[in-house]
Amino acid sequence: MDCQQQEIVNNLMASYREVGGINHVDCGNLPSKRTITALCEDLLQLLFPGFFSDEAVSSDELELMTTELVAGIRQRLNEEVRQSLRMVAGDGGDHAKAAGALVCRFMGQLPAVRALLATDVEAAYEGDPAARSYEEIILAYPGLEAIAIQRSAHLLYNEKVPVIPRMMTEWAHSRTGIDIHPGAQIGSHFFIDHGTGVVIGETCRIGKCVKLYHGVTLGARSFQKDDDGKLVKGTKRHPDVEDGAIVYPNATVLGGDTVIGARSTIGANVFLMESVPPDMVYAVGDQEHLIRDKRNAPGRKKSAETSDT
């Protein structure tokens, strides 16, 4: 079937010539998914020493282990950042020096990230009756993994590094179902329980001691388009959540002007596009909108919302 083999290849080569936009040939490396994966795994080891290494870590080994992790992360990140800066500059320049300095600033801020993550672990323990120990939270809570990666990626986002921060949070999204844009600003003591389906948009600002459950969307309400009908990018599009607010499962909160006030509670399955004052509880009405039918009773057909998707 060699002829067919050659014919298949020829058709693909023709497609590579004709279909633009989804080829990346002759334009230098892109950030590699595999490298971003290794990078995120090393970062978790550095942020939570002893939790993600297969062997027990003794304090004698700790500095050596740390030195090796730091060197490895810097080497990888220097290269990825350099490529990603070059991709955007499009000048074929080297950008090694800029990348190195940027990565140094990034690494220098990791202790501050650790201080925040310690408050996140505390918030999870205080916030979940099912949590038995700090170890369980660090080893088995997807929300902690997602916020650890997002807090790190946010540093690179602030340095205007293209693509890589988003690839990092997407690595966490793929593993946890939690999609936090690297641009989101998130305060201390942040806890996401379960987490699958959570979406936190690029321009969200989240205060301290905020708790979210799975399926919560903090999203944008609508597009702004310019005179050419193109989307305007980079405006404030997503809600703010003030200190101590709680948003329960599958609530959808939309809009760049929407503010959930301090200590307020948004109930499960609520849809919200208005701001909520502090110390309020907004919830779906007491099910007066629910239809309760005896199975096979008249009207059942009309209201039966069965599904086999």
Binding to its own copies (CB under 8 A) within 150-189 occurs at 162-163, 166-167, 170, 173-177, 179, 181, 183
Q: Identify whether the C-beta of residue 207 lies closer than 8 Å to the C-beta of residue 244.
A: yes
- The token duo for 17 is 């010539």
Q: Which amino acid is at 303?
A: S
Nearest residue (CB) to its own copies, 187 versus 282: 282
- The token duo for 103 is 């990565």
257 part of the interface to its own copies, by CB under 8 A: no
CB of 160 to its own copies, least distance (A): 10
227 part of the interface to its own copies, by CB under 8 A: no
Q: According to CB under 8 A, which residues from 132 to 151 bind its own copies?
A: 132-136, 138-142
**Cα–Cα dist 45/235, whole Å:** 35
* Sheet with 246-247, edge to edge strand ranges: 191-193, 211-213, 246-247, 265-266
89 part of the interface to its own copies, by CB under 8 A: no
**Cα–Cα dist 173/179, whole Å:** 5
Q: Identify whether the C-beta of residue 93 lies closer than 8 Å to the C-beta of residue 86.
A: yes
* Sheet with 240-241, edge to edge strand ranges: 185-186, 205-206, 240-241, 259-260
Number of residues that bind its own copies (CB under 8 A): 161
Q: Which of 39, 42, 213, 240 binds its own copies (CB under 8 A)?
A: 213
71 part of the interface to its own copies, by CB under 8 A: yes
Q: According to CB under 8 A, which residues from 11 to 70 bind its own copies?
A: 11-16, 19-35, 46-52, 54-59, 62-63, 66-67, 70
Nearest residue (CB) to its own copies, 52 versus 243: 52
Contacts (Cβ under 8 Å, ≥6 apart) of 162: 84, 85, 87, 88
CB of 165 to its own copies, least distance (A): 9
303 part of the interface to its own copies, by CB under 8 A: yes
283 part of the interface to its own copies, by CB under 8 A: yes
256 part of the interface to its own copies, by CB under 8 A: no
Q: Which of 215, 240, 242, 260 binds its own copies (CB under 8 A)?
A: 215
309 part of the interface to its own copies, by CB under 8 A: yes
- CA nearest neighbour of 119 among 186, 39, 202, 195: 186
Half-sphere exposure of 51 (CA within 13 A, CB side): 19
Q: Residue 266: in which H helix or E strand, if any?
A: strand 265-266
261 part of the interface to its own copies, by CB under 8 A: no
CB of 6 to its own copies, least distance (A): 8
Q: Which of 95, 151, 154, 238 binds its own copies (CB under 8 A)?
A: 238
